[in-house]
């Protein structure tokens, strides 16, 4: 069964409280870096995988896309997106990413913000996305950095008696697979993959990796969220930009 943690009532409530605060790693770290890698969007047909409440889908339309198919497993997220980010050129589709289907060559661009680390079979997904994209189309996605997902306990900062962070513990890096984390609720499941697995899977499914980014926070983010300074000690996210060449 596909995990649908965002429809868990406790998780959803806490997560939305966080997002609505406007003080998140999404706001000042991941999304600015993702948007900076988007191509000229004029006339593009876009697929947004794990669209959440529709922020990135809306950004694409505002910057020239002619259509966005926005997919998310969570009915909570889709319902908020329809109310908050409704647009006639966005079709919101409530379904697991793994089960979504479209004809060959349907899209110029596929984007995914912090959703792929919830997918168990990355190779199968990449095979499917290769079919969805037109030749020379782009796939741009962000995930939790493998440095973050590696350690099985997923409690990585070691602190001193005052609570100050001493160092980041890295372990179990080559042991790929499921990780369970306490994040508002117990049992949030993510999948750890090494960077080499990510790159090799991408390149063997008809793509060329154009760029990899380990984003740093914006200046505004550092001022509003001083803890973002720790991104210079270890990265939270990895963004990969790949083009379809086969």
pTM of the model: 0.95
Domain count, the chain: 1
**C-alpha span between 72 and 155 (Å, rounded):** 28
Decide if 27 contacts 96 (C-beta within 8 A): no
Query: Is 180 part of any domain?
Result: no
Q: Does 163 fall in a domain? A: no
Are 136 and 75 a contacting pair, CB within 8 Å? no
pLDDT of residue 80: 95
Q: Which domain holds residue 14?
A: 5-148+190-244
Domain CATH code at residue 92: 3.40.50.150
Decide if 161 is inside a domain: no
What is the rounded distance in angstroms from the CA atom of residue 146 to the CA atom of residue 208?
A: 20
The verdict on residue 44 lying in a domain is yes
- pLDDT tens, position by position, 163-220: 899 999 999 999 999 999 989 998 899 999 999 999 999 999 999 999 999 999 999 9
If you average pLDDT over residues 68-95, what whole number do you get? Answer: 96
Contact 74, 6 (CB under 8 A): yes
Residue 1 reports pLDDT greater than 80: no
Residue 25 lies in a domain: yes
**Domain for residue 237, yes or no?**
yes
Q: What is the pLDDT of residues 21-60, one digit of tens each?
A: 999 999 999 999 999 999 999 999 999 999 999 999 999 9
Residues 105, 98: Cα–Cα separation, whole Å? 17
């Amino acid at each position: 069964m596909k995990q649908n943690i965002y429809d868990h009532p406790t998780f959803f409530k806490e997560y939305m409280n966080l997002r609505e605060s406007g003080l998140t790693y999404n706001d000042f770290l991941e999304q600015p870096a993702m948007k900076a890698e988007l191509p000229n969007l004029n006339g593009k047909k876009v697929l947004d995988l794990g669209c959440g409440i529709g922020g990135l889908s809306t950004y694409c339309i505002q910057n020239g896309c002619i259509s966005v198919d926005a997919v998310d497993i969570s009915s909570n997220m889709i319902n908020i997106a329809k109310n908050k980010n409704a647009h006639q050129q966005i079709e919101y589709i409530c379904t697991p990413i793994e089960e979504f289907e479209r004809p060959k060559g349907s899209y110029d661009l596929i984007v995914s913000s912090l959703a792929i680390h919830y997918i168990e079979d990355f190779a199968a997904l990449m095979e499917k996305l290769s079919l969805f994209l037109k030749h020379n189309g782009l796939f741009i996605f962000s995930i939790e950095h493998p440095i973050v997902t590696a350690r099985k306990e997923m409690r990585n900062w070691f602190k001193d008696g005052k609570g100050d962070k001493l160092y980041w513990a890295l372990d179990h890096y080559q042991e790929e697979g499921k990780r369970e984390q306490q994040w508002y609720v117990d049992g949030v499941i993510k999948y750890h993959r090494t960077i080499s697995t990510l790159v090799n899977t991408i390149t063997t499914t008809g793509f060329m990796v154009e760029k990899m980014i380990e984003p740093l926070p914006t200046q505004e983010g550092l001022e509003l969220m001083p803890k973002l300074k720790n991104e210079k000690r270890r990265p939270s996210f990895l963004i990969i930009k790949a083009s379809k060449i086969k």
